[in-house]
Amino acid sequence: MLACTFFGHRDCPASIKPKLRAVVVELIERHGVDQFYVGRQGVFDGIARSVLRELAEIYPHISYAVVLERLPGPMDKVIWDFSDTIFPEGLETVPPRFVISRRNEWMLKQADFVVAYITHSWGGAAQFAEKARRQGKTVYNLANSRRY
């Protein structure tokens, strides 16, 4: 079982969706990736989740999970569908300031591939894409059509 995760800046253009879809299809068909992990912090994560939802209908052997950084509160339950989510063990004890980084560490540990949308070298998305590259994972950066 091969896995992929996603790291991207909060803001990204909706126009990347076809490119993101093409990369995910390539990972499924050419590399045998069948497990995907995505966060929920911004536009990029939302686009990735919608692509995964669509592709799960076409490729029923794949699975994906939205990896929560915190347990849902009462208001979250009203506006969010949690049927495709997981909460990594141990995150409940992490201080709020560090919880997204710890969640990202967990996702990176699971992954063989990373799909990213990185336009600048600062911030958490850039940090984790670079960390993945240093760990020898294949990183696709949709912002510049290159692989690290």
Q: Tokens for 21?
A: 């879809």
Comparing C-alpha atoms, which of 43, 32, 9 is closest to residue 122? 9
Q: What are the CA-CA distances from residue 5 to residues 45, 78, 91 (Å)?
A: 10, 27, 18
pLDDT of 114 over the 90 cut = yes
More confident residue, 84 or 131: 131
pLDDT at 23 over 50: yes
- Give me the domains of the chain, ranges plus CATH numbers: 2-147 (3.40.50.450)
pLDDT computed for residue 72 by the predictor: 67
Give 7's pLDDT tier (boundaries 50, 70, 90): very high
| CA 1 – CA 127 distance, rounded (Å) | 26
Q: How confident is the model at residue 81 (pLDDT cuts 50, 70, 90)?
A: low
Mean pLDDT of 120-141: 94
- The yes-or-no verdict on residue 124 having pLDDT over 60 is yes
Q: Would you state the pLDDT for residue 130?
A: 95
Q: Which two tokens stand for residue 96?
A: 């709020």
Place of tokens 């710890």: 102
148 — pLDDT class (breaks 50, 70, 90): very low
**Which whole number is the average pLDDT over 9-32?**
96
Top-confidence range, 6-10, 28-32, 75-79, 126-130: 28-32
Q: What is the mean pLDDT of the chain?
A: 90
Question: Which pLDDT value is given to residue 74?
Answer: 58
Residue 136: both structure tokens together: 């020898």
